[in-house]
Chains A and B, each alone.
Chain A
Amino acid sequence: MGGSEMALDRELRELARGAEFTATDEEVDRAIEEAAEELGESPESVRENVAYIMDSTFEEEGVSTSFNEMVSGTSLEDDVSSTGDPRLEALEMYKLRQRI
């Protein structure tokens, strides 16, 4: 599978009632660039899918509670085996998804 064919919103937003961002924007940008190179996709496409994994809703204002409990929901904060940051966790899941 290649990158998304859809034009997506690329902004990575923290959800008020979701998992808190713990990494810096620079760390996330770098991780996305590395993943894009590894997967042979554009950084934009990877970022779009990370954003979608974190939040699949259509809300204009955005919802504050994540529907993806284990990746961008507050549960991530309890997960000792995770990256700890919802953006990096969604990126990990996207990389793994592209491998399988």
Chain B
Amino acid sequence: MSQVLQSQYSGQRVDTGSKWYTLFQKGVELGTWNVEKLFDEIGFEQDRASWEALSQDERDQIRYLISGFLDGEREVAGDAATNLQRIMGAPCLDENTEKEMYMTMLTLTEHKHTQFLDVYMQEVMDDQDNYNDLDPRRGTRIPVVQATGLGEVFEHQGLLTAKAANTLNPVDIAKAATNYHLNVEGILARVGASAISRFPERADFPLLNYAFKFVSTDEGRHITHGIELLKELIEKEEAGNPQFQGVKQGIVETLYQDVPYMADFGYMFTDALDDPLGLDFNEVLMRGGNLIDGMYNETLGLDIDYMEVLNVVRDRYLEINEWDIKQRVHEQEQHYQRKRGVAADGGV
């Protein structure tokens, strides 16, 4: 939007002219779509029929993709409710009240995304054991997520957001926001969404498609928030404020740290399974590159070293290309089963 949106109302404690107020208000208007009403409106029938008609390999491919989202949405919801909410009150940031208001909306939508995915996988996709009894809130991710680099990105997210919430330091906040809003929401979620858009006609999942378009619309506001937050930090660094020095460096370093594991995500739902649905790892990689350029270079005005990006992605790709992903998932499942045994014996 080229014009700043303006509320018709004004208050005393809340600045209705704030960008974050706008994001909050539009979140209230557009982001409170009702997951259960969506189930009622679209229904599960067509999605179930399409699922039944797919081969096992095709189902595995979709399951791997959606599993990444289920764990991802749960992780971002958890970190938003705790760490990000605290970060929004950091003294180094402006408009704390409006940012805190917006963060409640972000958290609500992330929980709704989790709600949708959890019910959808149960209702439509033949349920597999996701080891929920081992408590996803304490790091038990779905085996394919934990066995690939996606788990590394989420682990990094937890560490960075927790550190920033503890120090409330601008550089730490920049790193946390980069991982969370740019890398996870702005790249991982968007390349995953682009893969859903490429589902062939035989994989006709109207409920999944509509829900993900709501998710995508919500994520659009989340990414806007992340970009605006980082721009605020960059502007303060460029204004010479000593406390903010290192913000830009922290942002690009966080990309270089996460990007090889982000490429794993694309690999795990495409070439690792011989890509029976034709979701195309090349498309995933290219889209990821385009999104990096759009956010980091075009919107934030940074100068990403693409050779650095390609070099770290290459090293990781050569490593994972040797993997037998089904064997790795099997080993992760065995690990969880051993943990279950310990838990059954009275361990924790």
Contacts and interface: CB of A to CB of B under 8 A. Distances in A.
A binds B: yes
A7 B8 contact: yes
A96 B206 CA distance: 13
Interface string B31-42: 001100110110
Interface string B169-206: 00000000000000000100110011011111100101
A79 interface: yes
B56 interface: no
Contact of A62 (B2, B37, B194, B227): B2
Contacts of A57: 1, 224, 227, 299
Nearest to B294: A65
Given A52-B30, A80-B201, A93-B214, A7 B196 contact: no
Given A9-B3, A56-B220, A62-B2, A75 B290 contact: no
Nearest to B40: A100
Interface in B1-33: 1-9, 19, 22-23, 25-26, 29-30, 33
Contacts of B212: 70
B216 interface: yes
A50 B34 CA distance: 19
Q: Main secondary structure on chain B at its contact with chain A?
A: helix
B191 to A, nearest CB: 8
Given A63-B298, A97-B30, A6 B216 contact: no
A64 B294 contact: yes
A91 to B, nearest CB: 12
Chain B, interface residues (CB within 8 Å), range:
35 or more
A75 B197 contact: yes
A81 B40 CA distance: 20
Nearest to A17: B294
A29 interface: no
Interface of B: 1-9, 19, 22-23, 25-26, 29-30, 33-34, 37-38, 40-41, 186, 189-190, 193-194, 196-201, 204, 206, 209-210, 212-214, 216-217, 219-221, 223-224, 227-228, 287, 290-291, 293-295, 298-299
